[in-house]
Amino acid sequence: MGGLLLVIGLTASIPAVPASLAVISFVLGWVTTDPSDPDPWPAPDVPVREIILVCAVTTPLAIGGVRIGLRLLRRNRTLVLFLRKFGYDDAQSAVTFAVLRTIGASWRVVTLDDAEMAPIGVADSTRRVFRAGRFLSKHVLVIGHFLGLRMFPIVISAMWGVLALGLIEPAYEFARTGVTTWEPWGEAIDPYVEIVASVFEGRPPLAEVAPTLPGVFALLAMAAAVSFAVMLASMAAIMLAFPLSTVLFFLSASADSVVEAERSKAVAVTSVGEIQQAARAIAARSRKVLGPRLVVLRVASHVWQDAVRELASLSSLPLIDISEPTENVLWELEALTNRFGDRCVVIGHHERVAALATVPPGERGPAPVERRLADLLEGREVLAYTTDPQGQKRFARALRGLLLTRASAP
C-alpha cells in the first residue's frame, strides 16, 4: 500500500506542479490587473476552471501520496540485533538467506563480526535501476551541455575563420590591383553560401567534403547543425522536465540514499565512543526506505560487550544463534533475555538443537557450557534451521512469522 501511494503521489505531482503555478499566476492576475484592461490575465481563452480543478485534485494527491506512502514504507522498519559465535558459517548462511528472501524488506539486521560475515546493502535490482538513472541523467546532461552550449559557438567561430581564410585571395587581389568589382568576392563566397543553403534545406553537403577550405567548411557546417539540434533538444528536455521536478528530485534523493546505504553497510569500531556514534547512525538508517539490509559492525574484541549493550538499546528484537555455545554466547543470551524477555528469538542448527534438547535435567555428561545453555533455554522455543536449500526456505518463512509475532508482543 505504501509503494502504491508513493507511485500515485509521484504521478499526480507531474500535472500538479504546472497547475499550481498556473493558479498562482491567475490569482496574481486577478489582483494586479484592472477589469477594464484590454489584455487581462488570465485571457478569456485560458481554461481557468479546468486548470483549477486539476490543481485541486492533483496537489492533495501528490502531497498526501508521497508523505503517507513513505510513512507506510518506513512504518515497520525495525532493527534486529543478530548475534552468534564469530565465524560460524551455518548461522551466517541461514540468516543471510532469510534477509535476502523474506525479512530484509521489513527488518534491518545488524550483527557483530570479526571480518567474515558479508554485509548486505540495497537489493541488486534497486541498485542497478538508480545507478543507471544517475549515470544517464549525469552523462546525458553533460553531453548535451557540451554539444549544445559549448560546442555550437566554437564551431560557428571556426566556420567564420575558414570563411575568412577563403576570402584572403580576393582581398589580396583587391589590395594589389585596386579593382572594386564584385566578381572575385562572389566567386570566393559562392561555395560557402551553397554549403550553408544545403544545410538549411536538410541536405548534408557530403559531396563537398574534401581537403580544401570549402570541404572543411562543409564539415564544420554539419557539426554546427548537429550541435544546434542538440542544444534545442536540451532546452526542450529542460522545459519538459519542469513538471517532472518532484519525480526527478525523488529519484535523485533515492540514488543518493542507495550510495549511502552501500557505503554504510560495513562499519569498523575500536572504542566505546565510536560504538555509540555508529549505533546511532545504524538505527537512523534502519528507518529509511533505502538502507542496508544487513549491517556488519566489525568490533574490537575488548569492546564487544559494550557494542552488544549499545545496539540492544536501539534494537526492537535480538536474534541469537546458540549452535556453537561459548562463554560469549551464553553472556549474550543471558543479558538479552534479561532485557527483552520472551521477545528474544533464539535459533540454532537443527542437529545441535535436537542433541541439546535430549539432555535430561541434571545430566552431568555435557560440557559445563552446554549444561548452562540447556538451563537457560529450558521452556524456550528455539527455531531450528538446516543448510540445504529447502531447509533454508522453510527457515526464512518461519523466521519472518516469528519476528512478526514477537515484534507485536507487549
Render pLDDT for 3-22 as a digit per residue (tens, 0 to 9). 888 889 888 888 888 888 78
pLDDT at 378: 83
Between CA 44 and CA 34 the distance in angstroms is 14
With vertex at residue 217, the alpha carbon angle to CA 213 and CA 220, rounded to the nearest 5 degrees, is: 140
Between CA 23 and CA 12 the distance in angstroms is 16
Any bridge partners for residue 161, and if so which?
none
pLDDT at 189: 83
Amino acid identity of 203? R
Peptide bond between residue 368 and the one before it cis (omega within 30 degrees of 0): no
Render pLDDT for 228-254 as a digit per residue (tens, 0 to 9). 777 767 666 656 556 666 666 666 666
Closest CA to 144 of 154, 132, 152: 152
Render pLDDT for 15-73 as a digit per residue (tens, 0 to 9). 888 888 788 887 877 777 666 666 777 777 788 888 889 888 998 998 888 888 877 87
Band of residue 118 on the pLDDT scale cut at 50, 70, 90? low
Band of residue 76 on the pLDDT scale cut at 50, 70, 90? low
Closest CA to 288 of 262, 257, 265: 257
pTM exceeding 0.75: no
Mean of all residue pLDDT scores within the chain:
79
E-strand ranges in 141-293 read: 266-269
Report the b/e string of 24-56 with b at 16+ CB within 10 A.
eebeebeeeeeeeeeeeebeeeeeeeebeebbe
Closest CA to 297 of 286, 243, 53, 287: 286
Query: Grid coordinates representing 372?
Result: 548452562
Render pLDDT for 268-303 as a digit per residue (tens, 0 to 9). 888 888 888 888 888 887 777 677 778 888 887 788
Spatial CB neighbours of 126, under 8 Å, sequence gap ≥ 6 = 258, 290
Band of residue 318 on the pLDDT scale cut at 50, 70, 90? very high
Q: Has residue 307 got a pLDDT over 80?
A: yes
Is-contact 300 113, C-beta < 8 A? no
Band of residue 384 on the pLDDT scale cut at 50, 70, 90? very high
